[in-house]
Amino acid sequence: MSLTDKKDINITPISSLGEFALIDKLTNSFKTKHKETIKGIGDDCAVFDSLKNYKLLSTDMLVEGVHFDLSYSPLKHLGYKSIAVNVSDICAMNGIATHVTVSIAASNRFSVEALEELYLGIDLACTKYNIDLVGGDTTSSLSGLIISVSVYGSVKKKNISYRSGAKPNDLLVVTGDLGAAYLGLQLLKREKEIFKSNPTMQPDLTGNDYALERQLKPEPPSKYIKILNDLKITPTAMIDISDGLSSEALHIAKASNVGVRIHEEKIPVDYTIMNLANEFNLNPIFCALSGGEDYELLFSINQSDYEKIKKDPDFTIVGYVTDISEGNNFIANDGSIHPLTAQGWDGTKEQ
């Protein structure tokens, strides 16, 4: 099923169904996929069979006007993204997501069909990442759309990675590339402003598919968890990159009571993103350090694991862990040393 599938539009007021009928309509196509799901949607609580692992639970909220703008965020993409960003948190613990609950608050400007579109995206993400939707809630809102997702997963006890395990001389590693989501957002904001000034002008998004996909339909870093497991690497510390590389590196430094050192020349940025950054007169390294919403992983590993990952293109060593006395530093291409500061995205402020 494509995120761009079209269908005939019939408008049904939400008030015509009521809460439980609405939940049934939105979720009746969801099927459980895991044997430990004893009871999913349909009772006061979801019931899970217990396994001999650590159970993981995280929650996240997306608020219209703060985390997304519906003038350029299709509802189906938004539903997909709401699951992806939560799965990313489970990955950051070296775990696998298995279940989610989704709660929404929607104003009366949303029809049943609009919410169905949102849930189509949720279903696509759940199907792709083998996740069961097992509950949630719906209520009215006076301020647009609010989506709250709780995600449940597990990890083998010997494999769990916290933010607090990094040690001096560990290597700092990132997955994928950085900065694309931030540039995708800048592109969407620019085209929105142009449209507001001249509604007859069509958005010019040509050639920027990668940046737009990273912003509107990010993928959680689930595949890297499997690769690390196959390589028999357990990170000493790990975090997902939701607020920019610098912010996440400082989180690890603080939690582990260590210093970190990141080298500009090592930070992975896609060549298309470098070109787009230049178009906006932005430094692509700034976008990687402070942009946010990349949903890649930053983790530390013992130097003994270097040989296992050195030829894997999925991973880039961007620096290393130091003693806390050395502070947190950014090494520029010219060799100059600068304090590493967090200027990442602030989810408490309107964007």
The pLDDT > 90 percentage for the chain reads 75
What structural domains does the chain harbor?
14-159 (3.30.1330.10), 171-339 (3.90.650.10)
Q: List b or e across 147-164, with b for residues whose CB sees 16 or more CB atoms inside 10 angstroms.
A: bbbbbbbbbeeebbbbbe
Do the beta carbons of residue 220 and residue 149 sit within 8 Å? no
Q: How many residues does the chain have?
A: 351
Q: Strands, E, within the chain: which ranges?
A: 37-39, 47-48, 54-63, 96-106, 132-140, 146-155, 171-175, 237-241, 259-263, 296-301, 315-322, 329-331, 337-339
Q: What is the pTM of this model?
A: 0.88
pLDDT band of residue 17 (cuts 50, 70, 90) is confident
| pLDDT on residue 44 | 58
**249-289 residue pLDDT tens:** 999 999 999 999 999 999 999 999 999 999 999 999 999 99
- Does residue 3 carry a pLDDT above 70? no
Q: What is the C-alpha separation between 231 and 173, in angstroms, rounded?
A: 15
